[in-house]
Structure 1
């Protein structure tokens, strides 16, 4: 196999480092181990990432991009068979919860929480992607689908995520509920999360929304 260089090597290092960080945690992860697992030299590793903090920041950015890409926007959940905007919102919130309950996501969140005091800018960036960006997408969708003001839509998004995501996520973070072991597939959404409970919350928050 030809040697990786440039951007391909950087991406390979990030994927490798993600696994090492999740396995060992930040403190126990060493640049030596990352270089060894990535099958590259320490010199090449430091050329791309001058410190472990820089490497960790790169991994968080990678995870953030993957997460948002997999989640998409509420409009992505509107289909010919499911044209109801309330149903699309239910499935979007369900997918958000499903992705967060994945064992890999929970480990990443725990690591971000553990490092929040030391590297707050990294943790705050992860929070923006995991919570703020989805709430912004929910708010924008609610504005269009229910003709709400931006302020009303923001309040709806905050309440909806608070009721449908936070309780289960907290249980997952504390080990009270079993995580989703395999990478979550949208096809198993109904089996992984309680869509009926989410639908009930949507109807309470948006009382004029048709039942899903």
Structure 2
């Protein structure tokens, strides 16, 4: 296989994943078909199956793509501010903003809907979004505070995000429909409320 052929193969695989992501979100797992993905991607079923041997494998690969896109947008707490408490505040706010964005809410619902049939996919989504976020916050807290970083990170994420997420998943509250641009963070989430939780939880570093 030449380098050009390999690159074209990688580009097609990535293209298929973005198309499949849209198909799964629009149709749901059960109604989404490999035929539809192939047609929408402008490729043959033979080519599609050469990259992904089953719909299950394709769905898991889509979740890997979701993880890559999500973590690229989330970054780490250190990227948001120099002062640790403010960095944690904005990181938790950014997590809430991203997880409440409509496509992400639909992805979460989709993963829940197939959890019994494909428990591996639900685990993959949890690891991609929740576990990875917890890990980044835990590591930052461990570097900047003397505390039980793992439990404090879990507590902060739960208190600042889960109530609103639950309401959104159950359609009690509306998801965010605008692109979750970091510049719009203050308009999408209540940073003051998150700041109060963070300030009350983290020890004074002075």
TM-based fold match above 0.5: yes
Return the alpha-carbon distance in structure 2 between the equivalents of residues 209 and 182 of structure 1: 36
Q: Is the CA contact 2:64–2:128 (under 8 Å) kept in the aligned structure 1?
A: no
Q: Which runs of 5+ in 1 are unaligned?
A: none
Give the secondary structure class of the aligned counterpart of 1:34: helix
Mean CA deviation greater in 173-182 or 90-99: 173-182
Distance in 2 (CA, whole Å) between partners of 1:209 and 1:69 is: 29
Structure 1 residue 209: Cα displacement: 5.7
Given that 1:203 and 1:209 are in contact with CA atoms closer than 8 Å, whether structure 2 keeps it comes out as no
SS in 2 for 1:187: helix
Q: Which residue of structure 2 aligns with residue 8 of structure 1?
A: 11
CA contact (8 A) 2:92 2:160 kept: yes
CA distance in 2 between partners of 1:197 and 1:71 (Å): 20
TM-score, normalising length: structure 1: 0.91
In structure 1, the residue matched to 2:69 is 66
Match of 1:190?
186
**Superposition pairs of residues 36-47 of structure 1, within 5 angstroms:** 36-47=39-50
TM superposition score normalised by structure 2: 0.94
Given that residues 74 and 88 in structure 1 are in contact (C-alpha distance below 8 angstroms), is that contact kept between their aligned partners in structure 2? yes
Are residue 164 (structure 1) and residue 160 (structure 2) matched?
A: yes
Shift of 1:128: 1.2
Cα separation, 1, equivalents of 2:197 and 2:205: 11
Cα gap change, 1:209 to 1:98, in 2 (>3 Å): farther
The secondary structure found in structure 1 opposite 2:43 is: coil
How far apart are 1:76 and its partner, in Å? Answer: 0.9
Displacement over 6 Å in runs of 4+:
none
Is 1:121 aligned to 2:124, yes or no?
no
Aligned length: 201
Superposition pairs of residues 29-178 of structure 1, within 5 angstroms: 29-78=32-81, 83-148=82-147, 152-178=148-174
What RMSD in Å do the two structures reach over aligned CA positions? 1.5
Residue 115 (structure 1) shift: 0.7
Unaligned stretches of 5+ in structure 2?
none
Is the 2:98–2:104 contact (alpha carbons within 8 Å) kept by the matching residues of 1? yes
